[in-house]
Structure 1
């Protein structure tokens, strides 16, 4: 490699490391709703207390409403924070509310979980 290629490679590695340590948003807005990296709709649960750092959706609930898990080395970014679940795993939250998927949504764009039992809401 010549000097220019080495400089470019070093700059790329430094920039990539800085972006990773700065935090990567776990979800994005799409058509006014939050979706995960897989394009699937994300939801909040009315029974979760904002900013409590807890999820009350565990066990059977979490099998129907899978959490948006955070990697161990994930860092909060913007309006996204991380909570610790009862089992010790990490979960993303937005504005203090834990985020979940809904098992009955089958493809990106599905929003069948909105309003379920009048306690599940599309995350925005």
Structure 2
């Protein structure tokens, strides 16, 4: 009986650890080895100088080129991460109050081709 209890407890513990790990990595940005924030797939994240007060200034055609790092209704911000509401009502991740974006011209993890774009108004995020 003790052996069965230990096995069952081990299964529940493993399931709990797996669930916690997948929740943490689902949408929240992660830090890469070179100190630049990326999404879970390793794509570089950017901020826009025109954003202010936890509000995105990048909508419409801008957001087509700079897709927001979207948050789900179930996501829970923590630490320096927050979630803002965009003009269209959708949720977006922010770091230290600055909304986070991808750049459509970055093709693979580690690309940083948007850094300094538009007269140095777009920046990679370095925590």
Normalising by the residue count of structure 1, what TM-score does the alignment of the two structures yield?
0.86
Q: CA deviation at 1:16?
A: 5.3
Q: In structure 2, how many angstroms separate the alpha carbons of the residues matched to 1:104 and 1:98?
A: 19
Higher-strand-fraction structure: 1
Instruction: Flag as ranges the 4+ runs of structure 1 deviating above 3 A.
Output: 12-25
Q: CA deviation at 1:29?
A: 1.9
Aligned match of 1:102: 103
1:4 alignment partner, one of 2, 6, 26: 6
Taking a change above 3 Å as real, the CA distance of residues 107 and 14 of structure 1, as seen in their structure-2 partners, is: closer
Q: In structure 1, how many angstroms separate the alpha carbons of the residues matched to 2:51 and 2:105?
A: 21
Q: Secondary structure at the match of 2:14?
A: helix
Q: Is the 8 A contact 1:92 1:99 kept in 2?
A: yes
Q: CA deviation at 1:77?
A: 1.5
Matched residue count: 122
Q: Identify unmatched segments of 5+ residues in structure 1.
A: none
CA RMSD after TM alignment: 2.4
Taking a change above 3 Å as real, the CA distance of residues 116 and 44 of structure 1, as seen in their structure-2 partners, is: same
Q: In structure 1, how many angstroms separate the alpha carbons of the residues matched to 2:22 and 2:41?
A: 19
Q: Identify unmatched segments of 5+ residues in structure 2.
A: none
Q: CA deviation at 1:18?
A: 6.1
